[in-house]
Structure 1
Amino acid sequence: MGTGIVSILFYFMPYNGRWLHYLSIIFFCLNVVLFTAAFVISFLRYTLYPEIWSVMIRDPNNSLFLGTIPMGFATIIEMWVFICVPVWGPWATTFAWVLWMIDTIVAAGVTLSLSVLLMMHSHEIKSLERFTAAQLLPIAATIVAAGTGAEVAEVLPNPDHALGTIMTCYVLWGMGTPLAMAVLVMYYQRLALHKMPPREVIVSCFLPLGPLGFGGYSIMYLGKVAKANFPATSTLDPSAGSVMYVVGFFLALIMWGFGLVWFFIALVSIYKARPFPFNMGWWGFTFPLGVFAASTIQIGIEMPSAAFKVLGEIFSIAVILLWCLVAARTARGAWSGKLFFAPCLANLKKDGEASEETIPA
């Protein structure tokens, strides 16, 4: 997700250059390699050791990260639309549409299933104090799929296919955004009553920027595509597309303002918690801030506004620098072998011990 959003920002930065375009292609290729490697490793892990899957899916924390799979895949689809479709033409467009359908099914499955599993296993969280912003990860999957679908719909040659994609995206946005707002209320209550999360997970304070940033970007881009598509397909009223465009823009602007509040809370939390140890959670810096930067850039394009373009450029540069820092420390931790661990495997041992106790002597 972090590498994918960096490739998108290199492509979209307001004050751009040809060399940044080439960098976006390099990061796109790197993202494909990283996603493929992670997916294959995960597939082999759960195929060779199927008992780990049941333990992981029951874990109230580790299971949430399944939402990162469709979100990471969505960044690949976006760059495919931006880079490959203009060069390779119709077959690349169809391929992007199929990939988006797969991503949508997975995203919806993750959002629906993990939301129910959270209720079923809520006793394992025990108290509001253990509630973290990571609860947003499976919910944000459908929001990201909605924004990606809007970009795919824009390049589809058949207006009816584009209309179906747009309508599906509005449903996906509706599945994720209101639920994300409900989780943000709970998370704010957790912060008000129990103060900051532990230093080990303090980076999760940036996660609210994800659904707010990409939620705003998605509804704004959907309105932009609907404005062109609805009149062409005689959908609803002749003014429907323009209405959706205007409403989408102002919703995005409101969500961007709400995101500023959480951005300030995250900065204060990070400042108060310093120093805090490096772990894989540091990747939580990149994607949420990256999609917030993308929303800022898109607002600057639609208004148009030089102020938002400058802010988008600043946020983009900050994300790229953060990626360099986190990637370097990840590589060092991976080389030493001290970075990767799976806390949920402790439950596997407990399950094994419980099974042994039930065996009669």
Structure 2
Amino acid sequence: MTAVWLLPIVTCVVASSSGAVVADVLSNAQHALWTILASYILWGIGVPFAMMVMVIYLHRLTLHKLPAKSVIVSAFLPLGPLGQGSFGIMKLGSVAQKVLPKTHSLQSSSPDIFYTAGFLIGIILWSFGLVWFFFAVASIFKTRTFPFNIGWWGFTFPIGVFATGTCQMGQELPSTFFNVLGTIISLCVVILWMVVSIGTIRGIITGTVFYDQVVAEYDGKEEDKRQISMTKGVYSA
């Protein structure tokens, strides 16, 4: 098992965050309210489900060794639902604070509750993401060298959404620290994107990017098993 299991789940979290951005620019307040509700539902599907998978993944890391070098970048993937979930819930709370009074929904104190609860949940998810960030960095340093492959794009999305959560936190507080930290992480994402893009173009030209080391290792092990079986058959005969 690898953290790649999170990729189908994080789509719900991304959609909820996108819904918050869309609701913020909709001119019709009722349409914005429907979008907010749908986004909260998607967030409630994606984030708890991602938490369950992360528990299984942590159990796998605890009992077994780190993933293979060719897929070690997947250690950053838990940052995806955590960073995007942090940004999404804060953005939803911010938009709900403006939309709920316009549609006369719930009680008069509800907009502030949505906003405050959104920020509280957002900073908790961001903090949990910080832990996974250090786990991932430690895994990379422990592995030291690992071949370039198309999986290196796994660097960009998790760290990118962690940057959006950090910047959103700095905007809501407001906080110079989180704004500066978000800017630094964003610049790191841009540099990583350029590095991975150059590596991908080079790999396409040379053809090495189409070579799957994991499959090759698996095929090699299967070939060894067949040779051992044939050797046993010869000696038994």
Normalising by structure 1, what TM-score?
Answer: 0.58
Q: Secondary structure at the match of 1:181?
A: helix
Please show how residues 218-257 of structure 1 align to structure 2 within 5 Å.
218-257=88-127
Please show how residues 168-183 of structure 1 align to structure 2 within 5 Å.
168-183=38-53
- Displacement of 1:341: 5.3
Please show how residues 22-101 of structure 1 align to structure 2 within 5 Å.
none
1:254-289 Cα distance to aligned partner (Å, 9 max, x none): 001000100000000000111000000000001100
Please show how residues 282-297 of structure 1 align to structure 2 within 5 Å.
282-297=152-167
Partner of 1:271: 141
- Identity level (%): 53
Q: Which runs of 5+ in 1 are unaligned?
A: 1-130, 347-361
1:191 paired with 2:89, answer no
Partner of 2:226: none
Q: Which runs of 5+ in 2 are unaligned?
A: 219-237
- Displacement of 1:336: 1.4
- Displacement of 1:156: 0.6
CA–CA distance in 2 between the matches of 1:338 and 1:301? Answer: 43
Partner of 2:208: 338
1:142 paired with 2:12, answer yes
- Displacement of 1:291: 0.3
CA–CA distance in 2 between the matches of 1:218 and 1:161? Answer: 18
Partner of 1:280: 150
- Displacement of 1:242: 1.1
Structure number, greater radius of gyration: 2
Tell me the amino acid that sits aligned with residue 242 of structure 1.
D
CA–CA distance in 1 between the matches of 2:77 and 2:187? Answer: 19
The runs of at least 4 aligned residues of structure 1 exceeding 2 Å deviation read: 340-344
Give the root-mean-square deviation of aligned CA atoms: 1.4
1:133-169 Cα distance to aligned partner (Å, 9 max, x none): 0000000000000000100011111100000000000
1:307 to 177, 182, 187: 177
Q: Secondary structure at the match of 2:178?
A: helix
Q: Secondary structure at the match of 2:209?
A: coil
Partner of 1:216: 86
CA–CA distance in 2 between the matches of 1:325 and 1:150? Answer: 31
Normalising by structure 2, what TM-score?
Answer: 0.88
Tell me the amino acid that sits aligned with residue 335 of structure 1.
I
